[in-house]
Each structure stands twice: as C-alpha cells, then as structure tokens.
Structure 1
C-alpha cells in the first residue's frame, strides 16, 4: 500500500467520524454556507498568479512549520499579492484542521482553496460551510465519473474545481466543466519532482483551459520556467512555509519576479 492509499483509507474513517458529529442540515445552517464565493479563475488573471499555501507538515518532509499563526500568514500572503490562498485541511498527514478555513475566512478577500483528499459528497458541503471558494479533486483518488459528479455538485454549491493530475493517463479525468487543471510536478506515489513532465502534460490540455503548476517550485528559476511554458497559476507552499516568517518570504519572492 503506497502513501496515497494509506491517506485515502484514513480519510474515509475521518469522514465517517465527521458525519456523526454534524449533519448536512447543520452544515447548511452554518455562517458561510450562503456566502457568495470568490472566483479563482478570475483572480489568477490579477496580481502574482500565485496560490500561496499554508501547510504545517507533509508525509515526505515531516514538520515544515509548527509555529506560524495561520491568520497572520494568510493576511500577509494577500497583502503582498497572492491571487488566492490554499489551506490544507487534512489533519493526520498534513497537520491541518477542518476549522482552519473557517477561522480565517473573514480575514482575507481572495479565494480560498480547500486542499484535501475529496472522496465523499459530505466533504463538499463541509467545504462550503467552512467558507472555501474552490475544492481540489485529485485524479489519482477518483474515477473520471466521480470527477464529473463531484464537479457538478461543487458548481451547485457555488464552488470552483481545481482538478489535479500528474500522469498522461489521468488526462481522461478531464471534462469540459472543470474550471482549472493543476499539474502536480511531484509524483504522489514516490514524491519525485519533474518540471518538464508537467510541461509535457500541460501541452496535451485544450488551449483554453487554465493550468496551475503545483508543488516542487523551489526557486525564481523554477517559477520563470513554468510561466514561460504557459502556466496560468502557481501553487506554492513549502517554499514559503519553511521560513520563520512565511509572509515575509512570500513578499520577498514576489518582489524578485
């Protein structure tokens, strides 16, 4: 069993526990469920194009940043030109929490991506109730039929969808109603990074599809290479979060571009 399989098995247990704590009707009654969402598709065309991520740890790197306050970090990201915020809500493997997005929703006025392993309808209602604007669908976790079904549900809830792929085979998960396609530079099964592989996959997408380069962007040179190859957005987290002050690291990076 690889790490992705382990994460999904744990995730299904977490979902079952969450469903016992809160019903769909309770989620629909939450403070943010009826709010009008911000559009990532629109925001990528403004500011830096960077989706700046808040991430405490990862399976491959362990603890990345255990001390920074999420509210301070996301405010700094926005103030220094982030087009959107990505927040890990997986607890077991990434140190996130289902309350993280809720806690900062009123602190920023740019889109928030709920980054998690979305495998059940309940999670999409959770995302809306948290105050998320966008959800991540990971092709490696889902069938093409599930991607289509979950995209339709997301749109019904007013959420945009970022579909993540990392192999040519996963291109079959794409469908015309997907909002954006993220191409993971890091293989989820062995965590190797290959930027050129991502460029090759991007070139197989329809021309009008917004593309986001994800993971493994560790330098201005990486960023510039991917931008020159036509990527519209850039999901970056570890590069900033490994610093004592992630917001300052983000500001310095944007100034260097």
Structure 2
C-alpha cells in the first residue's frame, strides 16, 4: 500500500471505534445542534490582491510521517491563541492520531480558545467524519482528491457545505485539480508533496496552479520552510499558504508567522 492508503486504513479502524461509542444518529444530531460555522472561505479570499500579504493557515502539528516528531505542543489552545494574535486567517488542527499524534480533544480545546475559523486536518473519507468535524466546531475540512473517487468527493463536498462548512480540496496532479474543479470545489490546495516518496518540490506549485481557474481560492501546501518560499508561492498566485512544521519547530511561532506574512506582501 502507499503511505496514503496505509494512513487511511488506520483512520478507518479508529473511526470504527469512535462510531461504536457515538453512533451515527447521535453525531448527526450533534452536528446539527452545533453553533453556526465561521466563514472560512471569506477568511481566505483576496490574498493575491492584499498588500498585507497572503493569508496563512497556521497548523498545530506534533508529528508527521515524513519528519517524525516535530513538537510536543502540550497546550494546543495556547498555540492557537498565538497564531490568532499573529494574524492567522485559519488555524489548522491535526486530529489524526497514529501518524500525526493529534486528536478531536485538541480541536475542542482550540475551538474554545479562538474565534478564528478552524480547519479539521484529517483523512476524511466518510460522512460520519464530516458530521464529527462540525460537531466539534470545525469550519473547514480537508478532502484529498487522491483518497476517493469522484462520486464520493462530490458527496462529501455537498454534505460539508450543507452543514455550513467549507472544504479545502487537496490535489497533487493536474488531473486531480481538474477533478476538484469539476466537483465544485471553491478552495483548492495544491500540495507539492509526492505521496509515494513524501519528497517535497516547491517549484512544482506554479506549474500545477496554472491549471486552476481564477474564481477559486488557491492554497499552497507543503514545503514552507522559509520566508523566501512563502514569497515564491505568493508570486506564483497563491491566495493562502498552509504552514505547520516551520511554525511549530520555531521557538517563537507567532513571530515566525508574522515574518512570513510580511515576506509575501506585494509591495515587498
């Protein structure tokens, strides 16, 4: 199996355990009763024309399959407040436990701490997970094109929007970008990580993003290690960048985030 397939197999096992504790009808009811979602689409729009710099999705990320342990992050709520004060447009919370050491409890803690829109960053392949995200306060979820067929992508995207949320639809190839556009995605993430080798090639972003229509929000994902790379993505037309490792490994994540935003200013 590929790395993605291995991760999803584990995600499904963990999902079965949660579903046994909280049945489908109960999670649907919790999602329907949750406070209204914040508008993550509006929070991410307009970055290419904003003299203040591209939008930043700042990630709370303890570990990754490619890098192993990144940071302890004993208090995700405190880190989220730092991100919010530093100007993050969206805070991303990893909730996958096996490879990323995240949890829904992290999402709950962050939701209680900040007003910024939240991305539930996980490997979502079932309707249950979409309802679960809304029940725990997410405003934005991740849908990975490579993880599903077109019918499932359209169905999950429709369900997401029916619950008042938006989806960051992630693509790695021109074909996947075309599939995301055809499904009706409004926010498309161009991920420059190779899913087979886990290698990152930031130079691929511009070529891949050329396949995107102008009316979607463009998010650059992976490979953000420096202000120069943020500037590179901004000049290639990104509305927003998703940054995790470079923030959580830094002694002052908030100052690093501010520096990245300054680096992307069109007047810079």
Partners of 1:67 and 1:42 in 2: CA distance = 29
Secondary structure of the residue aligned to 2:256 is: helix
Superposition map of 1:79-98 within 5 A? 79-98=85-104
**Closer, same or farther: CA 246–209 of 1 in aligned 2, 3 Å:** same
Give the structure-1-normalised TM-score.
0.93
Please state how far the C-alpha of 1:244 moved relative to its aligned partner. 3.3
Secondary structure of the residue aligned to 2:12 is: helix
**Closer, same or farther: CA 72–32 of 1 in aligned 2, 3 Å:** farther
131, 147, 153: which one aligns with 2:137: 131
Partners of 2:230 and 2:73 in 1: CA distance = 27
**Closer, same or farther: CA 33–73 of 1 in aligned 2, 3 Å:** farther
Partner of 2:150 in structure 1?
144
Partner of 1:202 in structure 2?
209
**Closer, same or farther: CA 116–67 of 1 in aligned 2, 3 Å:** closer
Partner of 1:179 in structure 2?
186
Q: Deviations over 1:175-213 (max 9, x none)?
A: 253120000021122112122322111111112111100
Q: Is 1:55 matched up with 2:58?
A: no
Please state how far the C-alpha of 1:31 moved relative to its aligned partner. 8.5
Partner of 2:165 in structure 1?
159
What is the alpha-carbon root mean square deviation over aligned residues?
1.8
Partner of 1:74 in structure 2?
80
224, 235, 249: which one aligns with 2:231: 224
Partner of 1:26 in structure 2?
26
Partners of 1:151 and 1:217 in 2: CA distance = 27
Whether the 8 Å contact between 1:76 and 1:248 is mirrored in structure 2 is no
Number of equivalences: 257
**Closer, same or farther: CA 32–93 of 1 in aligned 2, 3 Å:** farther
Q: Deviations over 1:86-113 (max 9, x none)?
A: 1110000000002111112121111100
Partner of 1:114 in structure 2?
120
Partner of 2:6 in structure 1?
6
Whether the 8 Å contact between 1:32 and 1:129 is mirrored in structure 2 is yes
Whether the 8 Å contact between 2:220 and 2:238 is mirrored in structure 1 is yes
Partner of 2:71 in structure 1?
65
Partners of 1:75 and 1:147 in 2: CA distance = 32
Partners of 1:220 and 1:59 in 2: CA distance = 24
Whether the 8 Å contact between 1:80 and 1:254 is mirrored in structure 2 is no
Partners of 2:30 and 2:109 in 1: CA distance = 13
Secondary structure of the residue aligned to 1:123 is: helix
Partner of 2:243 in structure 1?
236
Structure 2 spans left out of the alignment, 5+ residues:
none
**Closer, same or farther: CA 228–256 of 1 in aligned 2, 3 Å:** closer
**Closer, same or farther: CA 106–231 of 1 in aligned 2, 3 Å:** same
